[in-house]
Chain A
Amino acid sequence: MLKDRAAIVGIGQTRFARQLDEPEKTLACRAVLAALDDAGIDPSEVDALASYTMEETDEVELAKSIGAGDITFFSRTGFGGGGSCATVAHLAMAVATGQASVGVAWRARKRGSGVRPWTSTSVQLPTPAQWTRPFGLLRPADEIGMLARRYMHEYGATRDHFFNVALACRNRANQNPAAVMYDRPLTREMYMDARWISEPLCLYDNCLETDGALACVVVGAERARDCRRRPVYVHAAAQGLPAQHHGMVNYWTDDPLTGPAWAAARHLWKHADFGPQDIDAAQIYDAFTPLVPLSLEGYGFCGRGEGAAFTEGGALELGGRLPLNTGGGGLSEGYVHGFNLINEGVKQLRGTSTAQVPNAATCLVTAGEGVPTSALLLRS
């Protein structure tokens, strides 16, 4: 069993901005070196690397740039943002089973100043995009918007529920000087008057487009006790590719509103000493606001169809039932394919978040919902 046998002992990040001048590879190196420095571990000790697809800096480039030693474990998880938490899961498994001793996971992206992935029309459309994009459904926002409208139709969710998600993230970003939206408050009027992107989703239902990089360092529990920072243990980890799932566009299962979160959650809680009611803070992947109510249901914080109502009454704010995305998340801190959610989870459990939940001891971190996903239960 993986339980608490590995820990995150270092985190690092670059600045987040709409545009950073340095190339992605440079940003990746800066974030990784910062994470190793935070851990107090020399880069020559790194022997495991984990990343996820749509990462431009490969293992060879990173290892030789930072001066890593011999790498004996490296993995790359598919499906973009669905793989964020899987990097830590793979490293935890590697160090817990003796395949490696010091693991580094990272993500560097120039999404703010680079091209949007969906604007490339010359590459072959991967299954299942070939069954949607030629039919006029071009962008991830359209694909999730489709599920969002169906969700509203089936369960009475409203735009106010999606606003609750956007607002909670923005409020936390307003407390986080590193967040892109640090000095930009959001009001209900701004949200309701915003331009549409893909109805029923408006501008503020969409994540930011950000340049930046983050990394973290994973070692075995024994070594973690000797590191510079308080260890944050990987209590449980899971990946989720549910039966008959189809990827980002999951319109062909019996129930498209039951996404990969459900499969990941079943595994996660089965291996945990605590349950959803014991989670002090949640970092839930928020490329689009509707993913949050869907994830709240999938990870068992409420029943099927109750995710929208769960967001009412300030539940996702500090002091609420489940403080959400306490650094601002992809919606308001920066969209770095969910890696900032991992590092924010670590900050909460170290007690160093800019929106600290008092005495936070447990945190759920999730990766992209809708795509084959992954999740972590972290504890202090």
Chain B
Amino acid sequence: MTDTTATGGLLLPWPDADGEPFWEYARRGELRVQTCADCGLRRFPPRPCCPRCHGFDSRWDLLSGRGRIWSFVVAHPPLLPAYAEHAPYPVAVVELDDAPGIRLVGTLTGSVRRPDAPPDDVDPGRLRIGAPVQAVFQTLAPGVTVPRWALTGPADRTAAGGRPG
């Protein structure tokens, strides 16, 4: 059923030229999104040119990583074996506080201090649409880092280094 034994059966990002900077910044623990250098429009997923002004130059803006749960599912089997062992586990779509309309998918952890917690770390019964979360970074495989989401209260947000805003 699965044919990537070298990665423990996990689906790893396979970046294209446009998406590679996102993953490069993620390896440094930074959540950045592609932004048009000419008109400032933030866009996701990354692409060659700006759909508004058609400029081809872009920069990558650093975001706070703060967001709110836009929706979530709880995945049950059948799943790939590497995921089934942690099922059921929740996955969320998070709307970013400083880039509304850009929503990122990710698994959840109960605390910003546990970025590497298993995907079933959070009891799905605790989840609500609108709950605040903070991006943390998990190393899935050597050189492969993905953002995921830590549930936060106001205190956790300070601990995570979230800037007021």
Contact = CB atoms under 8 A, between A and B. Distances in A.
A225 interface: no
Interface in A135-175: 135-139, 142, 145-147, 149-150, 153
Interface string B70-93: 111111101110010000110101
Interface stretch (A1-9, A126-134, A314-322): A126-134
Given A128-B45, A252-B45, A244 B51 contact: yes
Given A121-B3, A145-B73, A198-B75, A136 B91 contact: yes
B49 interface: no
A149 B73 contact: yes
Interface residues of B, number: 45
A136 B148 CA distance: 10
10 contacts: A119-B80, A125-B14, A130-B45, A135-B106, A135-B107, A136-B105, A196-B88, A199-B76, A251-B70, A252-B101
Interface string A95-122: 0000000000000000000011001111
A136 B75 contact: yes
B89 A195 contact: no
B49 to A, nearest CB: 14
B11 A195 contact: no
Given A146-B73, A198-B75, A132 B80 contact: no
Interface in B1-24: 1-4, 9-16, 19
Contacts of B119: 136
B102 interface: yes
B74 A199 contact: yes
Given A121-B80, A200-B73, A135 B44 contact: no
Contacts of B124: 199
A132 B72 CA distance: 13
Contacts of A256: 103
Contacts of B9: 121
Given A146-B71, A252-B103, A127 B76 contact: no
B129 interface: yes
A132 to B, nearest CB: 5
A371 to B, nearest CB: 16
A145 B11 CA distance: 20
B146 interface: yes
Q: Which 5 A-B pairs have the closest CB atoms?
A: A199-B74, A150-B71, A145-B73, A135-B105, A134-B13
B116 to A, nearest CB: 14
A256 B70 CA distance: 11
A379 interface: no
Given A121-B4, A146-B93, A196-B76, A134 B11 contact: yes
A136 B4 contact: no
A277 interface: no
Contact of B71 (A115, A149, A197): A149
A254 B51 CA distance: 14
A198 B19 contact: no
A362 to B, nearest CB: 35
A246 interface: yes
A130 B102 contact: no
Nearest to A256: B103
B76 to A, nearest CB: 4
Interface string A222-266: 000000000000000000000010100101111010000000000
B59 to A, nearest CB: 19
Interface string B110-140: 0000000001000010000100000000001
